[in-house]
């Protein structure tokens, strides 16, 4: 991804989110750093970050929300009360060998979000 002041503002704004966020919320925070930033630039940067695995769309979200991601295999624990997102390396997905043995399916990758209540909200 080419380094521009606009993209730096979007990435800096992204780092301020502890939970889910929408593209518009990201744009509003990025504009605090770069006043003339256009919404289209925020969307394009968000898509580039999604392609790099730095963010992921939240499946089934009614608000088209995203979550930040760190590199490597992990899953997300999403709090339904406060919206916080925690990453975990714990994985309950069947192994590649088991999927192939049981279903003849050749596994490439998977994504899992687990929804519930975080320790703070419980």
Q: Which of 18, 12, 11, 16 is CA-nearest to residue 76?
A: 18
**Reported confidence tier of residue 1, pLDDT bands at 50, 70, 90:** low
Q: Which helix (H) or strand (E) holds 47?
A: helix 39-51
Q: How do beta strands 75-79 and 113-116 pair? A: parallel
* Burial zone of 80 (CB within 10 Å; 0-12 exposed, 13-18 middle, 19+ buried): exposed
**Reported confidence tier of residue 13, pLDDT bands at 50, 70, 90:** very high
Q: Which of 20, 10, 9 is CA-nearest to residue 86?
A: 20
Helix (H/G/I), strand (E/B), else coil: 50: helix
pTM for this predicted structure: 0.71
Measured CA to CA, the distance from residue 97 to residue 107 in angstroms comes to 9
Per residue in 51-93, pLDDT tens? Answer: 888 998 887 677 888 988 877 788 888 888 887 788 888 888 8
**Domains of the chain listed by start with CATH number:** 5-68 (1.10.10.10), 75-116 (3.30.1490.190)
């Amino acid at each position: 991804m080419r380094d521009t002041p606009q993209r730096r503002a979007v990435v800096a704004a992204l780092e301020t989110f502890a939970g889910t966020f929408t593209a518009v919320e990201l744009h509003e925070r990025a504009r605090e750093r770069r006043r003339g930033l256009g919404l289209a630039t925020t969307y394009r940067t968000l898509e580039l970050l999604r392609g790099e695995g730095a963010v992921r769309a939240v499946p089934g979200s009614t608000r088209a929300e995203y979550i930040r991601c760190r590199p490597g295999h992990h899953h997300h624990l999403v709090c339904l009360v406060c919206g916080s997102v925690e990453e975990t390396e714990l994985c309950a997905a069947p192994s590649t060998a088991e999927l192939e043995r049981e279903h003849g399916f050749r596994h490439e990758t998977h994504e899992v979000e687990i929804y519930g209540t975080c320790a703070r909200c419980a």
